[in-house]
Amino acid sequence: MPRLKGVSTSYTVTMRQSQHQLILRAEKQGLLEITNEIKDWLTDQPIESGLLTLFIRHTSASLVIQENVSPDVLHDLERFLMQLVPENEDLYRHIEEGPDDMPAHIKGALTQTHLNVPILDGRLALGRYQGVFLFEHRRAPRDREVLLHLIGV
């Protein structure tokens, strides 16, 4: 097996971190794009290259990266999850907060509570048609907390 020869150098890079909490109002069940709120916060951060972690502090809502051009994509995704996890109290034991309670927890378990998005040149490295969405699984309006943690240089 050939051995690789090379020059080894070491250097120190000082990593920076920033944190923020977004309080978002979900007026109804479904997908709410929050890309612009994230971008607005990101423009004030001194980090050009790194990783942004987003974390939602709830068990009946989630975060997803999804297409943000065609509203039909969002409609179809919402409809699919409604059919996959019906709001039928006969199916669940946990119904204290109404017929949407347990289905909201199941939808939250099927999706994600956190996302990681690379930061390049101080911007979200999302694809051309991608956006970040809060996916509200409950019917009644409510405030949701999304924590942002940015680390990089």
Write out pLDDT tens, residues 30-76. Answer: 999 999 999 999 999 999 999 999 999 999 999 999 999 999 999 99
Give the right CATH number for 16-152 from 2.60.120.460, 3.40.50.410, 3.40.630.30, 1.10.8.60. Answer: 2.60.120.460
Contact partners, residue 153, CB within 8 Å, separation at least 6: 13, 14, 15, 16, 47, 48, 49, 50
Instruction: State the sign of the Cα–Cα–Cα–Cα dihedral 142, 70, 129, 66.
Output: positive
Mean pLDDT, range 140-152, rounded to an integer: 98
- pLDDT computed for residue 4 by the predictor: 67
The tokens for 128 are 């051309």
